[in-house]
Amino acid sequence: MNSNEIAQYIEATNGMAKPWLLLQLRLQKLQERRDSIPADEYANELADIHQSLMNLGEWWIGMEDQVF
């Protein structure tokens, strides 16, 4: 999926309240720009996305039936 398709999916499924989907969108957008940005900028943005993912923690606890 490209970033436009991911964004459409997020909108269609009311996924704005699901931060893990927004992280997937950020990651895809970064991947699409990878060849047009310096390597250090790519690494910094990737590290920021990774930190955001780690900040989510174990978000699925108690919602396993709904998300898996």
What residues does each domain of the chain span?
3-57
35 φ, ψ (degrees, to nearest 5) = -75, -15
Q: In the 8-state DSSP scheme, what is residue 16?
A: G
Q: What is the mean pLDDT of residues 20-44?
A: 96
- pLDDT value for 12: 95
Check pLDDT > 90 for residue 61. Answer: no
Q: Of 9 and 66, which is predicted with more confidence?
A: 9
Neighbours of 6 (CB within 10 A): 19
